[in-house]
Each structure stands twice: as C-alpha cells, then as structure tokens.
C-alpha cells in the first residue's frame, strides 16, 4: 500500500500521549481521560509493571541463563514508564524510547519521583547508541505498521549486546470478529473500513499483525540463539513475547 493509504500512527500516539496517557497504555475504564492518577489507581497502574518485569527476568534467567545483574537496559515504546521504572531499578543504566512527547514528559516525571537518576527517555531509536544487556518492547510494535516495525526490530536486534537478552512482543493474528471486512466478500464495507482508518481524527489505536517467521529469521540471522515464546491472547488479539539471547 502506498504512503497516502497509511495511517500516521505517530500522530495518533502524540494525541494519546497528550489526552489519554494512562489509558493509552492500560486500556481499563479506570484510566480513561485521566491526566493524573489518585493513589489507588496509580498503585494499580504501576503494580502491573512491577509484577511483569520480575516475571520476564525470571524467564530470561531460568530458561536462558541470563545473568541476574543487568548493565544497560533499553525499553522501546516506554510510554509513561510503567516498565522502564522496574527495569531501571534492576539495571545500572536504563533508556526509554517513545515518539510521543506527552508520554516522554510523564515518563521523565515518574522516573524523577521514583528517584531513578540512572534512567533517561529519548524520542527515537536514532538517538540511542551502544550495546544493551537487555532490550525490551511490550505492546508497542502492534501499534506500528509492520513495514516500519521490521526496521525497528532490526535496530533493537543491533542494539542488543552479545550475550544480552531481548524480550520482544509481536502480535501475530486475531479472531475473526476483529478482522477487517473482506475486499472480495464485502467490498463496500472494506472501503468504509479503510476510509475510517485513513480519516478518523488523531487518537485511534491501530492494531497490526506481524509475520512471526520473518521476525524469527531476522533474529536468527543476527545471532540470537534459543527462543522461548510466551503466547498471549488480549481479547482476541493473539501475540507472543519472544524471550531470547544473542549468542552469536
């Protein structure tokens, strides 16, 4: 599909970062339209990251022999810091990347509130240099058109140090009720669907599926070894978290 038929998802996330920073990350009714969270909601929101990160680390360490000590860690699509904060607590240094200014602003504030001076946030992977002992991206690539997303995966792969770990979440398919109308069976609905995606005002959350075989081939080419795949089903959107280490 040519450029004019593509949704500008960065613009969507710019809007979501400004208007729906917490709901954009955690689509629970409690967080709709919230610009700041009361202590109970805040605890629920950040606890979801505080429990997720130890689970990922345990998998990397127990299944793949990753060392418990983490030097540099990178979180691509860090949002307001839900995962970056617990990553920074465990690493010597942590970097978050997020294209949305509103998300970055809140993320930086949350890092400061947590007293984490070893972590920083930047707007683009182009600004990130060096090799990281742990690279993570969760519920991010699913919102980025795959043609572009495969490029981000290549960059994340290149930024992983030899011996380093990668936890990468990619959406691979969806239940029938979540698929768009068929161009062959329902061409008018398919056109209406496409027009909605092109013309809806900024702030839409797009979902895209990736070719898992292509992602695995790319990582294998770049020297990643054994992989553990954790399948997830988020309301009919099927995905995997690839847990792997670069050995070559």
Ligand X SMILES: C[S@@+](CC[C@H](N)C(=O)[O-])C[C@H]1O[C@@H](n2cnc3c(N)ncnc32)[C@H](O)[C@@H]1O
The C-alpha R_g of the chain, in whole angstroms, comes to 18
Q: Per-residue contact track with ligand X, 170 to 209, x per CB under 6 A?
A: ----------------------------------------
Give all strands (DSSP E) within 77-127, no chain letters.
91-97, 119-122
6, 10, 15, 59: which one binds ligand X (CB under 6 A): 10
Least distance to ligand X, CB of residue 36, Å:
17
100 counts as binding ligand X under rule CB under 6 A? yes
Least distance to ligand X, CB of residue 152, Å:
7
97 counts as binding ligand X under rule CB under 6 A? yes
Q: Are strands 160-174 and 132-137 parallel, antiparallel or unpaired?
A: parallel
Question: How far is 65 from 130, CA to CA, in rounded Å?
Answer: 23
82 counts as binding ligand X under rule CB under 6 A? yes
Q: Are strands 91-97 and 119-122 parallel, antiparallel or unpaired?
A: parallel
3-state secondary structure of 223: coil
Cβ distance to ligand X smaller for residue 11 or 190: 11
Q: Interacting stretch for ligand X, rule CB under 6 A, among 57-65, 133-141, 181-189, 213-221?
A: 133-141
Query: Which structure tokens are listed for 194?
Result: 């496409």
Question: How far is 100 from 145, CA to CA, in rounded Å?
Answer: 16
17 counts as binding ligand X under rule CB under 6 A? yes
57 counts as binding ligand X under rule CB under 6 A? no
Question: How far is 132 from 159, CA to CA, in rounded Å?
Answer: 6
Binding site for ligand X (CB under 6 A): 9-10, 13, 17, 24-25, 77-79, 82-83, 97-100, 103, 138-140, 143-144
């Amino acid at each position: 599909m040519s450029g004019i038929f593509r949704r500008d998802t960065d613009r969507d996330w710019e809007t979501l970062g400004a208007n729906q920073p917490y709901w954009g990350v955690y689509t629970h009714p409690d967080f709709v339209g919230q610009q700041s969270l009361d202590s109970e909601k805040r605890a629920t929101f950040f606890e979801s990251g505080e429990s997720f990160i130890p689970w990922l680390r345990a998998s990397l360490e127990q299944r793949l022999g990753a060392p418990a000590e983490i030097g540099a860690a990178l979180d691509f699509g860090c949002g307001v810091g839900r995962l970056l904060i617990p990553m920074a607590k465990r690493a010597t240094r942590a970097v978050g990347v997020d294209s949305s200014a509103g998300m970055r602003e809140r993320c930086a504030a949350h890092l400061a509130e947590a007293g984490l001076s070893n972590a920083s946030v930047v707007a683009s992977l182009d600004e990130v240099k060096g090799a990281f002992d742990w690279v993570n991206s969760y519920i991010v690539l699913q919102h980025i058109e795959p043609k572009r997303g495969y490029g981000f995966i290549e960059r994340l792969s290149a930024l992983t140090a030899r011996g380093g770990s990668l936890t990468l979440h990619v959406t691979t398919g969806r239940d029938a009720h979540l698929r768009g109308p068929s161009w062959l069976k329902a061409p008018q609905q398919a056109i209406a669907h496409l027009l909605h995606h092109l013309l809806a005002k900024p702030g839409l959350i797009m979902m895209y599926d990736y070719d898992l075989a292509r992602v695995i081939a790319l990582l294998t080419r770049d020297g990643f070894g054994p992989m553990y795949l954790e399948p997830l089903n988020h309301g009919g959107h099927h995905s995997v978290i690839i847990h792997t280490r670069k050995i070559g």
